[in-house]
C-alpha cells in the first residue's frame, strides 16, 4: 500500500471540511417568502480556452472531467448533500411515493414462457428480491423446473449488478451470459455447464455481453470493446482454450461503426453486423463450419442501410435502398449483393416499415403509420393480407419473441396509456387471439378510471405534431391542471404510448401526462427523423415548445403548473427548451442529459462520439460547429430566470459522461438570475440506466415525482 504524504493528507482534510461547510452553511436569499435556502456548492472556476474555426469558448468547469480526482468526487458529494438538505422536507413524501409505486408491483411473478429448440424459457421474480431468476422446462410446461441463473445469488456483495445476453448452445447444455458490476456496459462473458451446474474457467472481459454459438457447441463468436466502449472486434473462442489465443475474425477499423455477432433465427448462420447511423454491412458463415471464412452480403455504401434474416434458400433484407421508408427484399444465398435483391414489400411514402418476422406459412410486418404501430399479416401462398385491430386511439404494439418458423401462432405485445402491458398469442390461420398475461397492477387500479386522447399540435412551420395524453376521468379542462410533458426526439427512436404503473401516482394526484411525438423520432416516417437531426435539429426543440403552448391553449394546464421531463438526448431537449423558453415551465427534470454538445462531439476518446457525427453533425466542419453552438445547452446558458430544475446523472455513465450535467448545473448556478431551486442528483454507484434492481430504481422516480409535487404547494 502506497503511503500518503503529509501534504496530501492535509489537502484531503481541507477538502472534506470545505464540503461540510458548503453543505451546512445558509444563505439569506429566499426561495419563497418566509423561507430560507441552503447555500449550494460553488464549483471553482478554472478557465480553459477551447478554440475551433477561429471561435474561442471559455469553459470554466472543464476540470470536472476527472473521475479519479478526489476534488471532483468531493464536489459531487457536496451536490448530493445539498440536494438532500433542500429536499429533506419531502423525505416522507418520497418514501410514501416509493411504497405506493412498489406496492402496485406483483412481487412474485413470472413471464410468459416461449419455446425454443425443445425447451420452454421464462423469467421469474420472487417477493423481496431485486433481480430475476431465469428458468426453463424441457418439452412441456409440466416438466421439472430448471434454474439457469439466479441473479439474486450472483449479485450478492455488489452495489450494481446486471446480467445480459443469455445464449444457449445448440445441444442445450451450455449457456453464455455477460455480467457488468460497474454500470459502464463493459461485460465479462461467462459460461455455465447446465448439466453439472459448473461455471467454466473460460472468462472473457471487456465484451458487449453476448456470444453467438456455432453448431459444434464449443466454438463461439464475441465482440470486444475498445477504450471508448465501441464494439470493434469480433473474436472466435473455443471452450477450454486460452482466451489469449482467440482468433481475431473481424476488426471494424472505422470508428464511426459498431460491430456485433449473432446467430440467425434459422440457426444455420453466424452473422456479423457492422453498422453506423447511415450505413450497414453484414457477413455470414455456415454455423456448422465455424472454421470457414465469413462472406460479405453487400459491401457498405454511404446512406445504404439494410438488415438481414435467413429463411429457406434466401436472405430477407429490410432496407432503405431506393426506399426512404424502407422496403422488404430477398436474395438467393449464392448471390447476395444488392443487384440481386428482389422486392417482396414495396416502399410506401406514408408507411414506415420497421420490422418483420417470418413463419412457414405467413410473414408479419411491423409498420408505422400516422405515428401508430400496425401489425400486418400476409400469407405466403396467395399474398392475402389483413391488419390486427387494436381499437384504441393511442397504443403500443410490437412483434414479441417468436424463435420458431414452423408455427401458426404469432406472439405479440400490446399496451396503451390505460392498458397494462399484455402478451398475446394470435393464430394466424383462425385469427383467434389469446391473452396469455397482462401486467397485474395491485391496488384499486382500473383502466376504466382513466382517459386517453390523441391530439395534434400545429408547429410554427405548419407541421402537425402528434400528442398522446392520459388523465384520470372527471378532470376539468379549465387550464388549472398540473401537466407533465415528456419527449425524446432523437436517433429516429419513436416514443410509443405505452403503460407505466408508476405514472398512476401522478395521475391520481390530478396530473395530466402527455407524450409529444416530436421530430427527431420516426413516428411519422423516416422524414420525421431526418427533419429533426443535423441542421434540422432545432425542429425538435420548437416542436416541444409548440406542443406545450398548444396544451395551454387547449386548457389542459397553465405555465405555473406545466412540467417537463426528458432523459439522455431528451435531456438535451430539456436543456435547449430551457434556454429558449425558460418562462414556459414551472419545473423540469433532466435525466442524464447530453448538454455539452460541441465539446463532446470534438472528443473522439469519449464513448459514442465518432459514431454520432451523422446524428448531430461533425463540429470539425464550421457549418455544423456554428449550428450546434447555437443550441448547445451548456454553451447557451445565459443570465436569465430559469424554472426549478432537478438534474440527474450517474458517476459511471457510459453514454453521457457525468461531467456534462455537473458542468451544466455549475454554469447555471453562476449565471441564472432567479431564486428557484436547482438540484443535481448523482448516483455514485450507477450509470446511464440508473440503479440496478427491480425496485431500487424507483427511488429516483419517487424523488422526481416529489420534486414536481412539492413545486405545486
- Which active-site residues does the annotation give? 568, 653, 688
Find out whether 252 and 259 touch, Cβ atoms under 8 Å.
yes
CA torsion sign, 537 to 538 to 541 to 544? negative
Q: What is the DSSP string of 22-54?
A: HHH-B-S--SSTT---BPPP-PPP--EEEEETT
Burial of 155 (0-12, 13-18, 19+ CB in 10 A): buried
Find out whether 267 and 170 touch, Cβ atoms under 8 Å.
yes
Of 510, 677, 701, 660, which is closest to residue 587 (Cα–Cα)? 677
Of 397, 303, 407, 416, which is closest to residue 355 (Cα–Cα)? 397
Cell of 668: 447555471
Q: How many CB atoms lie within 10 A of CB 478?
A: 10
- Calpha distance 160→91 (Å, rounded): 24
Find out whether 225 and 207 touch, Cβ atoms under 8 Å.
yes
Strand partners of residue 363: 358, 378
- List, in order, residues 6 or more apart from 525 with CB less than 8 Å away: 324, 325, 349, 350, 351, 352, 368
Q: How many CB atoms lie within 10 A of CB 305?
A: 18
Question: E strand or H helix at 222, and its extent?
Answer: strand 219-225
> Integer distance in angstroms from the first to the last C-alpha of the chain?
53
Find out whether 537 and 627 touch, Cβ atoms under 8 Å.
yes
- Calpha distance 562→551 (Å, rounded): 9
- List, in order, residues 6 or more apart from 520 with CB less than 8 Å away: 488, 489, 490, 491, 492, 528, 529, 532, 533, 537, 539, 540, 569
- Calpha distance 170→213 (Å, rounded): 7
Q: How many CB atoms lie within 10 A of CB 349?
A: 9
Cell of 535: 441542421
- List, in order, residues 6 or more apart from 32 with CB less than 8 Å away: none
> How many Cα atoms are found within 13 Å in the side-chain-facing hemisphere of 468?
23
Amino acid at each position: 500500500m502506497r503511503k500518503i504524504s503529509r501534504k496530501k493528507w492535509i489537502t484531503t482534510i481541507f477538502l472534506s471540511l470545505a464540503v461540510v461547510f458548503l453543505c451546512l452553511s445558509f444563505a439569506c436569499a429566499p426561495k419563497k417568502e418566509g423561507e430560507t435556502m441552503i447555500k449550494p456548492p460553488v464549483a471553482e472556476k478554472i478557465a480553459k480556452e477551447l478554440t475551433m474555426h477561429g471561435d474561442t469558448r471559455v469553459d470554466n468547469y472543464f476540470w470536472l472531467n476527472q473521475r479519479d480526482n478526489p476534488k471532483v468526487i468531493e464536489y459531487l458529494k457536496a451536490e448530493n448533500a445539498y440536494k438532500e438538505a433542500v429536499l429533506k422536507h419531502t423525505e416522507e413524501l418520497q418514501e410514501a411515493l416509493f411504497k405506493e409505486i412498489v406496492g402496485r408491483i406483483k412481487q412474485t411473478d413470472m413471464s410468459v414462457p416461449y419455446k425454443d429448440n425443445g425447451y420452454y424459457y421464462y423469467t421469474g421474480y420472487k417477493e423481496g428480491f431485486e433481480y430475476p431468476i431465469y428458468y426453463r422446462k424441457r418439452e412441456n410446461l409440466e416438466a421439472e423446473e430448471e434454474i439457469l441463473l439466479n441473479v439474486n445469488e450472483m449479485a450478492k456483495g455488489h452495489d450494481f449488478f446486471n446480467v445480459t445476453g443469455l445464449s444457449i448452445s445448440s445441444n442445450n447444455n451450455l449457456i453464455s451470459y455477460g455480467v457488468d458490476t460497474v454500470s459502464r456496459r463493459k461485460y465479462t462473458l461467462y459460461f455455465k455447464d447446465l448439466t453439472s451446474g459448473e461455471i467454466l474457467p473460460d472468462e472473457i472481459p471487456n465484451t458487449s455481453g453476448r456470444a453467438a454459438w456455432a453448431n459444434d457447441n464449443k466454438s463461439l463468436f464475441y465482440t470486444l470493446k475498445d477504450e471508448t466502449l465501441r464494439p470493434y472486434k469480433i473474436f472466435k473462442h473455443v471452450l477450454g482454450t486460452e482466451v489469449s489465443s482467440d482468433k481475431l475474425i473481424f476488426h471494424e477499423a472505422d470508428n464511426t461503426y459498431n460491430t456485433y455477432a449473432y446467430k440467425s433465427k434459422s440457426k444455420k448462420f453466424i452473422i456479423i453486423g457492422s453498422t453506423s447511423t447511415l450505413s450497414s454491412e453484414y457477413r455470414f458463415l455456415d454455423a456448422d463450419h465455424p472454421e470457414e471464412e465469413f462472406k460479405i452480403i453487400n459491401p457498405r455504401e454511404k446512406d445504404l442501410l439494410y438488415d438481414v434474416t435467413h429463411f429457406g434458400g434466401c436472405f430477407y433484407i429490410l432496407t432503405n435502398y431506393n426506399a426512404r421508408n424502407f422496403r422488404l427484399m430477398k436474395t438467393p444465398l449464392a448471390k447476395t449483393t444488392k443487384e440481386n435483391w428482389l422486392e417482396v414489400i414495396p416502399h410506401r411514402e406514408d408507411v414506415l416499415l420497421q420490422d418483420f418476422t417470418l413463419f412457414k406459412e405467413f410473414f408479419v410486418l411491423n409498420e408505422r403509420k400516422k405515428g401508430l404501430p400496425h401489425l400486418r399479416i400476409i400469407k405466403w401462398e396467395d399474398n392475402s393480407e389483413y391488419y390486427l385491430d387494436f381499437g384504441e386511439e393511442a397504443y403500443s404494439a410490437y412483434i414479441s419473441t417468436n424463435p420458431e418458423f414452423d408455427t401458426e401462432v404469432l406472439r405479440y405485445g400490446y399496451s396503451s396509456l390505460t392498458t397494462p402491458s399484455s402478451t398475446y398469442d394470435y393464430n394466424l390461420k383462425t385469427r383467434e387471439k389469446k391473452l396469455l398475461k397482462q401486467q397485474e397492477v395491485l391496488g384499486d387500479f382500473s383502466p376504466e378510471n382513466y382517459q386517453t386522447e390523441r391530439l395534434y399540435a400545429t408547429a410554427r412551420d405548419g407541421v402537425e405534431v402528434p400528442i398522446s395524453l392520459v388523465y384520470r376521468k372527471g378532470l376539468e379542462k379549465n387550464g388549472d391542471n398540473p401537466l407533465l410533458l415528456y419527449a425524446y426526439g432523437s436517433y429516429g427512436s419513436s416514443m410509443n404510448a405505452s403503460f407505466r404503473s408508476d405514472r398512476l401516482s401522478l395521475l391520481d394526484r390530478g396530473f395530466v401526462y402527455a407524450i409529444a411525438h416530436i421530430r427527431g423520432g420516426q413516428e411519422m416516417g423516416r422524414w420525421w427523423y431526418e427533419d429533426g437531426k443535423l441542421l434540422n435539429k432545432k425542429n425538435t426543440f420548437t416542436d416541444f415548445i409548440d406542443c406545450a403552448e398548444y396544451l395551454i391553449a387547449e386548457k389542459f394546464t397553465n405555465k405555473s403548473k406545466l412540467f417537463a421531463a426528458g432523459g439522455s438526448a431528451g435531456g438535451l431537449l430539456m436543456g435547449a427548451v430551457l434556454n429558449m423558453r425558460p418562462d414556459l415551465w414551472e419545473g423540469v427534470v433532466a435525466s442524464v442529459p447530453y448538454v455539452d454538445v460541441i465539446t463532446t462531439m470534438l472528443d473522439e476518446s469519449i464513448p459514442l462520439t465518432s459514431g454520432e457525427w451523422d446524428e448531430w453533425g461533425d463540429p470539425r466542419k464550421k457549418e455544423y460547429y456554428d449550428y450546434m453552438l447555437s443550441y448547445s445547452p451548456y454553451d447557451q446558458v445565459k443570465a436569465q430566470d430559469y424554472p426549478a430544475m432537478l438534474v440527474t446523472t450517474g458517476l459511471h455513465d457510459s453514454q453521457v459522461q457525468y461531467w456534462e450535467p455537473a458542468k451544466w448545473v455549475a454554469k447555471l448556478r453562476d449565471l441564472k438570475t432567479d431564486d428557484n431551486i436547482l438540484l443535481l442528483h448523482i448516483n455514485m454507484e450507477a450509470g446511464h440506466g440508473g440503479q440496478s434492481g427491480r425496485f431500487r430504481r424507483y427511488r429516483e422516480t419517487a424523488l422526481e415525482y416529489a420534486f414536481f409535487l412539492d413545486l405545486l404547494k
